[in-house]
Chains A and B, each alone.
Chain A
Amino acid sequence: MSESMLQVRDLHAYYGKSHILHGVSFEVKAGEIVSLLGRNGVGRSTTIKAIMGDVPPQGSILFKGGEIAGKKPHEIARLGLGYVPENRDIFPALTVRENLYLGQKKANVTGRWSMQDMFEIFPRLEERADTQAGVLSGGEQQMLTMCRTLMGDPDLIMVDEPTEGLSPMMVERVAELLERIASRGIAILLVEQKLTIALKICQRLYVMGHGHMVFEGTPQQLKDNAAIRKEWLEV
């Protein structure tokens, strides 16, 4: 396989005094779609927040070969790491267009994705370009959040539960978009609770339980491993 994009080694993180991550290690290679699965509260979101520098990390995080643990969130983002948050942190008072514009790291610089690209992929965003983002539907907000991150031309995006609360049709669209993003050579770390979308589009999967990894393998290997699914994934 190709070079390593993100390499996390023995990552620990704390919220106040509680120890959330107990030595998490995993890897995402260039162009790969990798999923981080697990139930609520096992530390998946904390893992990506620690990678982004939003939660102070302990351990080693190599991005494109350079150590990023200890860097500030904006420095990490500028290196080409994109984050799509779970709670769809759109900027509600700004218009759709302004939200996308703030995804760009500099005023007149776009990379692999222009605003026009976004509007072609989601005509709905163009229709609502001058509407305040706060009034969009949940699915539209999810698309906007994803597109906003893409405007910053990342080499790897970490997407936290993009299908949470969306209709099956919208889930399908999210899956399509993720594959489309990957087809432009962008690596994806997908944090999910549901297996459906992960099994369909990922090359490799990790399963997390109580602050550490409990499984690593291909979708097929996870399908074959009923014990892991029963213990760590099924509700």
Chain B
Amino acid sequence: MLELVIFSTLNGVLYGMLLFLLASGLTLIFSMMGVLNFAHASFYMLGAYFGFQLSQWLDFWVALFVAPVCVGLVGAAVERWGLRTVHKWGHVPELLFTFGLAFVVEELVQMVWGKLPVDYRVPALLDFHAFELFGTTYPAFRMFMLLISVAIFLVLLMILTRSRIGLIIQAALTHPNMVAMLGHNVPKVFMMVFGFGSGLAGLAGVIAGPALVTQPSMAHVLGPILFVVVVFGGLGSLPGAFIASLLIGLIQTFAIAINYSLGDALSAIGMARPMQGVLSDLWQVTVAQVGPVVPYLMLVLILIFRPTGLMGTREN
């Protein structure tokens, strides 16, 4: 039991930190520009494929630095020559633009790399067991992913709270027009944030690619969960996104690991489990079986009871 808790916690935190790498960019972009970027997870996928390709040509360690930069540049270009033009027509066309972009990226990825998963492997240097606990080993590469995510989180926090550009971004989250009228080039800040946010998603892809599976469906597997994170945390709130990322990471990992049902719980406290009636099946459903639906259930519930999300402040 203890090993289950330790490993699930580690995996949950790791998954949560990965989600945060994506959610941080998405939530910043949303609150500054009012754009709910449906293509955000596509940048994550691009990161994985760029990472794979560069690892093939050169080396994983080169890919780790170069691939996120490439994805960031693609993101900045999308903002500069795509979104900024569509922006004139309002938020719905912007939304549809990013929606279409997600499909374009997916099709392009399939055209270039095919429909099957690519052989993106953990680099040899990190292909060992970090530690062994109760007979179960934990891969070093996962520890490395955790380290990178935590480091990025700290860097992001420092930039946002300590640097001038961070202050400008924070101010533009709530009052972009006023920031511009003080003489700051807000369109350029938007482009940088979009590029940086895409780059972070790309980095998540580079490090998640070898651990998970690098395939064309990886964007739309992660996309919906990402929206749960930003809505649950409160659109535009970085601390909210952080808490929601960890929460959902942990819930999903623990749920999958727990093979108990309501019936088991009843038996444990000495009550008979109901075997008859229309609802009898309900008692047999294990936590692991309902695990995947829990985040979406949380999304629905938070929208009903606290529409601003955990830490959101946006009124409209």
Contact = CB atoms under 8 A, between A and B. Distances in A.
Interface of A: 52, 54, 72-74, 76-78, 83, 85, 89, 91-94, 98-99, 101-103, 105, 107, 148-149, 152
B183 A77 contact: yes
B84 interface: no
Contacts of B167: 94, 98, 101-102
B170 A74 contact: no
Contacts of A85: 178, 181
A94 B170 contact: yes
A78 B179 CA distance: 12
Nearest to B180: A73
Contacts of A83: 181
A102 B181 contact: no
Given A73-B180, A91-B175, A93-B170, 20 more contacts: A52-B181, A74-B184, A74-B185, A74-B186, A77-B182, A77-B183, A91-B170, A91-B171, A91-B174, A91-B179, A93-B174, A98-B167, A99-B171, A102-B164, A102-B167, A102-B171, A102-B179, A148-B182, A152-B182, A152-B183
A76 B180 CA distance: 9
Interface of B is mostly: helix
Q: Which of A72, A73, A85, A92 has its CB near the most chain B CB atoms (within 10 A)?
A: A73
Interface in B135-190: 164, 167-168, 170-171, 173-175, 177-187
Name the 8 nearest CB pairs between A and B, nearest first. A77-B183, A89-B178, A91-B171, A73-B180, A105-B183, A78-B183, A74-B180, A83-B181
Contacts of A73: 177, 180-181, 186
Contact of B181 (A74, A91, A92, A99): A74
Contacts of A103: 182
A83 B164 CA distance: 21
Contact of B164 (A76, A77, A89, A101): A101
A102 B184 contact: yes
Nearest to A153: B183
A85 B181 CA distance: 10
A102 B182 contact: yes
Contacts of A94: 167, 170-171
A93 B311 CA distance: 13
Contacts of A149: 182
20 contacts: A52-B181, A54-B180, A54-B181, A73-B177, A73-B180, A74-B183, A77-B182, A83-B181, A85-B178, A89-B175, A89-B177, A89-B178, A91-B178, A91-B179, A92-B174, A94-B167, A101-B164, A101-B167, A102-B167, A107-B164
Contacts of A77: 180-183
B277 to A, nearest CB: 54
A65 B148 CA distance: 54
Nearest to A95: B167
A206 to B, nearest CB: 22
A17 B181 CA distance: 24
Contacts of A78: 183
Contacts of A98: 167
A74 B186 CA distance: 8
A92 B313 CA distance: 11
A101 B185 CA distance: 16
Interface in B96-123: none
Q: Which of B170, B177, B178, B186 has its CB near the most chain A CB atoms (within 10 A)?
A: B178
A235 B184 CA distance: 39
B168 A102 contact: yes
A14 to B, nearest CB: 14
A94 B175 CA distance: 12
A18 to B, nearest CB: 17
Q: Which of B178, B179, B181 has its CB near the most chain A CB atoms (within 10 A)?
A: B181
Nearest to B168: A102
A52 B167 CA distance: 22
A118 to B, nearest CB: 15
A83 B177 CA distance: 11
A181 to B, nearest CB: 17
A94 B171 CA distance: 7
Q: Which of B178, B182, B186, B187 has its CB near the most chain A CB atoms (within 10 A)?
A: B182
A133 to B, nearest CB: 10
Contacts of A54: 177, 180-181
Contacts of B185: 74
Nearest to A78: B183
Contacts of B173: 93
